[in-house]
């Protein structure tokens, strides 16, 4: 009888730990992606979030948006969804204002999807080339934007050469191969 009780306790502990192990990988296991880089974003010395970039095996710097990419941000601060969306729109306009009306429509869609975040929350965006971008909070899907142009534009905030933080960009792309 004691052996059965011990066995049940161990099985329950493993089942509880399994989702935590999956979450620690940046949700990559469910999408067959590998981590290609990670870094931290700070603003005036204050930690804002830790970022990690996940990609298909065939991804290269030369064809960055031709493969699935997932960016995961683990927040160190409480930030409202309005602030996240306003910052996103501001960064798009800072990098390139060519699609201003389209970016405003995307911002409205994001306001309907994204939550306010607290320290420890993990917000991920999975770009599927030519299709859509899916958003996840702590591994659970919270919404999609069904516009194939959204994903590359959104990820450009971190991956474009004109990003606000080239140091973070270099760390996110650290393990990505270049193809000639």
Domains and CATH numbers, the chain: 27-172 (3.50.70.10)
The answer to whether the beta carbons of residues 54 and 159 sit under 8 Å apart is no
> Over 90: is that where the pLDDT of 15 sits?
no
pLDDT-derived band at 175 (thresholds 50, 70, 90) equals confident
In this prediction, residues 130-148 reach a mean pLDDT of 97
User: What pLDDT, in 10s, does the model give residues 33-64?
Assistant: 999 899 999 989 999 999 999 998 766 666 77
Locate tokens 């899907």: which residue? 141
The answer to whether the beta carbons of residues 135 and 114 sit under 8 Å apart is yes
**What pLDDT score does 30 carry?**
52
In this prediction, residues 127-151 reach a mean pLDDT of 96
User: What pLDDT, in 10s, does the model give residues 72-103?
Assistant: 999 999 999 999 999 999 999 988 767 888 99
In this prediction, residues 60-70 reach a mean pLDDT of 78
From 23, 48, 2, 53, select the one nearest 140 (Cα to Cα). Answer: 23
**What pLDDT score does 68 carry?**
92
**What pLDDT score does 59 carry?**
67
d(CA 53, CA 163): 15
d(CA 21, CA 161): 33
Q: Please, what is the average pLDDT of the chain?
A: 82
d(CA 75, CA 142): 17
User: What pLDDT, in 10s, does the model give residues 140-163?
Assistant: 999 999 999 999 999 999 999 899
d(CA 21, CA 4): 25
């Amino acid at each position: 009888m004691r052996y059965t009780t011990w066995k049940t306790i161990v099985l329950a502990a493993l089942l509880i730990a399994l989702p935590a192990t999956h979450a620690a990988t940046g949700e990559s296991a469910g999408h067959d992606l590998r981590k290609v880089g990670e870094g931290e974003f700070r603003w005036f010395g204050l930690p804002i979030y830790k970022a990690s970039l996940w990609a298909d095996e065939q991804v290269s710097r030369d064809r960055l948006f031709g493969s699935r990419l997932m960016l995961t941000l683990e927040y160190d601060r409480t930030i409202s969804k309005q602030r996240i969306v306003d910052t996103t729109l501001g960064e798009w306009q800072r990098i390139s204002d060519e699609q201003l009306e389209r970016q405003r429509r995307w911002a409205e869609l994001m306001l309907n999807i994204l939550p306010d975040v607290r320290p420890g929350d993990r917000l991920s965006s999975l770009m599927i080339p030519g299709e859509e971008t899916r958003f996840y909070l702590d591994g659970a899907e919270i919404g999609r934007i069904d516009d194939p142009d959204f994903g590359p534009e959104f990820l450009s905030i971190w991956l474009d050469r004109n990003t606000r933080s080239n140091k973070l960009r270099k760390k996110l792309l650290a393990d990505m191969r270049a193809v000639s």
